[in-house]
Amino acid sequence: MKSRCAVIIGVMAMICFLSAGVTVSLAQGDGKIGQKEWSKIIESKVAEQAGDKAIINYEDGYVEALGTGAVDPARVKGTNARPMCLRAAQVDGYRNLLEATKGVQIDSQTTVRDFITESDVINAAVSGLVKGAKVINKDYLSDGTCEVTLRMSLSGKFAQTIIPKAIQEEQKRQPTPPAAPQPAPAVPQPTAASAPVYTGMVVDARGLGARPAMSPKVVDETGAEVYGSMIVDKAFAVSQGISGYARDLTAAQGNQRVTNNPVTVKGVSAEGAGKADIKISNAEAQQIRAATENLSFMKKCRVMIVLD
């Protein structure tokens, strides 16, 4: 009898707790969800806030947005209130997520918004991917409103939509090859012993004001591409991104993306309107180009860029 009374008292206490207007959170995922965690993510990761209700995390590869909804209690009552409230929040979340996604930097010249504006196909594809974003958190707030947090990956189908277009656009920007020059005197090439073979590259771009992008480039002092969309294998670029990002140099050097023997180069400036392209010295560019085997790690996108 006492046990039964205890159960009844417990149930009544829970009902009182819920009716007292306390937020109920149905959280999923890694526990780092919503606006409360965004400031922490921005401090520790290569990420940036997109307006008041979204974040773009280039390091972990996703866009996340918050949606808020409410229903009129005078018109909607009973069991219909919560589902309708959540639906309104989700619609608002999709709108915020789409707007944030448009601001994703593709390269130093282009954002997703540019691709959407010029291509109905990409516009439809991105809109469809946003509507398929994962709901990772639902909150019922004490004022009767609801909040929904949505997350969309920048890899997978999104990268399949954006990266090939980025490569195509970069090919268009390349100047027409000049006429074949007259043969020059042979120049001794570095021997295998003098040309180290690396498993990846870490670009230290701290202090340059550089920004992340889906398709960054590394160039030499003449502007010639050392690494970028013209070099990578498209399959690797789509599956894992053209470059990884980190805020810590040691962590980047130990990242499995660049495996066990990466070369570390120091950026000298950030280039382009979007400040996503990193210029390195001609000497370090030559160091990388010296061994043809190094082209293998670049094709496989084994590159990390360290930003402030």
- The answer, yes or no, to whether residue 194 has pLDDT greater than 90, is no
What are the structural domain ranges in the chain? 23-161, 197-306
**Rg of the Cα atoms in the chain:** 25
Q: Which of 130, 121, 185, 175 is nearest to 152 (CA)?
A: 130
Distance between alpha carbon 115 and the CA centroid of its chain, in Å? 17
pLDDT digits (tens, 9 = 90+) for 280-300: 999 999 999 999 999 999 999
When pLDDT is cut at 50, 70 and 90, the band that residue 35 belongs to is: confident
The pLDDT tens digits for 140-151 are 888 889 999 999
pLDDT(14) > 50: no
pLDDT band, residue 124 (cuts 50/70/90): very high
**What is the predicted pLDDT for the residue at 178?**
46
As a whole number of angstroms, the distance between CA 274 and CA 166 comes to 14
Report whether 306 contacts 202 (CB < 8 A). Answer: yes
Average pLDDT value for the chain:
86
| Average of per-residue pLDDT across 102-112 | 96
pLDDT > 90: percent of the chain: 71
**Which region among 4-18, 146-160, 200-214, 252-266 has the lowest average model confidence (pLDDT)?**
4-18
Q: Are 105 and 212 in contact (CB under 8 A)?
A: yes
Q: Residue 222: which residues within 8 A CB-CB, separation 6 or more?
A: 282
Contacts of 70 (CB under 8 A, 6+ apart): 85, 88, 144, 145, 146
CA distances from 193 to 181, 270, 291 (A): 30, 33, 10
Chain mean position to CA 63: 7
Query: What are the angstrom distances between the C-alpha of 23 and each of 6, 67, 142, 150?
Result: 25, 16, 6, 19
SS3 185: coil
- pLDDT for residue 2 is more than 50: no
Compute the distance between CA of residue 163 and CA of residue 245 in angstroms, rounded to an integer.
17
With a cut of 60, say whether residue 22 has pLDDT above it.
Answer: no
In this prediction, residue 150 carries a pLDDT of 98
pLDDT reading at 116 higher than 50: yes
One-letter amino acid for residue 80 of the chain: N
Mean pLDDT of 94-113: 97
CA angle 167, 156, 54 (to 5 degrees): 95
If one compares 34 and 307, the residue with the highest pLDDT of the two is 307
Where does the pLDDT of residue 103 fall: very low under 50, low under 70, confident under 90, or very high at 90 and above? very high
pLDDT, one tens digit per residue, over 151-190 is 999 999 999 999 999 988 888 887 654 444 555 555 555 5
Say which range, 91-105, 129-143, 208-222, has the weakest mean pLDDT: 129-143
Are the beta carbons of 169 and 110 closer than 8 angstroms?
yes
CA 231 to chain centre: 21
Query: Tokens 């949606």 sit at which residue?
Result: 67
